[in-house]
Amino acid sequence: MEERRIVILTGAGISKESGLETFRDPDGIWAQVRIEDVATPEAFARNPERVHAFYNHRRAGLQADAVLPNAAHDALARLERDWPGEMLLVTQNIDDLHERAGSKALIHMHGELLKARCLACGAVSPWHEPMTLASLCPACGTAGTLRVNVVWFGEMPMEMERIYDALGVCDLFVSIGTSGNVYPASGFVAEARNNGRAHTVELNLEPSEGHSLFDEAHYGPATEVVPAFVERILKDGW
Ligand code: APR
């Protein structure tokens, strides 16, 4: 039998227990700064230093020694290793915790905090230090043309065609640690259901906006519900 295909979507909730903030929890990022001031192309055009400072703070935080992949990241890397069929992990997160846990078939649909994109030559380069208007593009050497390689509100998420292709043929769709507030990711469960055979599962701390669209749900901290779910899938399927 052709092995069944799995698509997993993750959001900020999977990284919360690694010490990274979510966006819409009461203590989340959007309770501290306004999207319009730091996460839109207009904000960057208006005040690039403010936007650089916002991502410099998060980039430094992500590289703190204490920030490590947690048991949920590890469980998804194990599932990819041990599942005999295809698996694609799509993350809304811009952290590198899935990579550090060992996930390989991974799409960062909202980009990556530890990458810089040059507006002069288009090159995308690894970037770990603070970014300023004086920063030089590693590829073309131009100063002042770098932006963080993340997708801002109003911009097109990355690799959408590849994601929709995978949703169109998947047998299992699992949404983990996302509030289901932001499109197009919040529409992935409906895409999967439309393929006529996908079993859809939500693993989250609490029911998301789209909770009623899922066939199955388990609520609790990701470091508890994700490893338990992966264990069951590998042993008994779904
Ligand atoms: N375990 C599992 N889920 C958790 C945990 C945890 N320990 N802690 C919080 N959550 C859940 C919250 O209940 C919430 O449903 O994670 C979800 C986080 O939701 P958001 O903060 O809205 O983050 P996310 O869904 O990833 O946001 C999507 O919005 O601002 C944009 O680009 C940003 O990628 C982000 C997108």
40 — pLDDT class (breaks 50, 70, 90):
very high
Secondary structure (DSSP) of 100-155: HHT--SEEETTEEEEEEEETTT--EEE--S---TTPBPTTT--BS-EEEEEPPTTS
- What is the Å distance from ligand 1's center to 104 Cα? 22
- Spatial separation of the C-alpha atoms in residues 1 and 89, rounded to whole Å: 23
Does residue 1 register a pLDDT over 80? no
Active-site residue, selected from the candidate residues 110, 199, 211, 218: 110
Look up 110 and say whether it is catalytic: yes
The mean per-residue pLDDT over the stretch 90-109 comes to 98
206 CA to middle of ligand 1, Å?
Answer: 10
pTM of the model: 0.98
Average pLDDT of the residues in 211-231: 98
Between 203 and 2, the more confident residue is 203
- pLDDT given for residue 26 in this prediction: 95
**% of the chain at pLDDT higher than 70:** 99
Evaluate if residue 181 carries a pLDDT over 60.
yes
User: Quick one: pLDDT at residue 228?
Assistant: 98
In this prediction, residues 154-167 reach a mean pLDDT of 98
Contact 98, 73 (CB under 8 A): yes
> What integer is the mean pLDDT of 27-32?
96
In this prediction, residue 2 has a pLDDT band, given cuts at 50, 70 and 90, of: low
**Ligand 1 touching residue 23 (CB < 6 A):** yes
SS3 of residue 89 by DSSP: strand
Higher pLDDT, 228 or 2: 228
pLDDT band at 47 (very low <50, low <70, confident <90, very high): very high
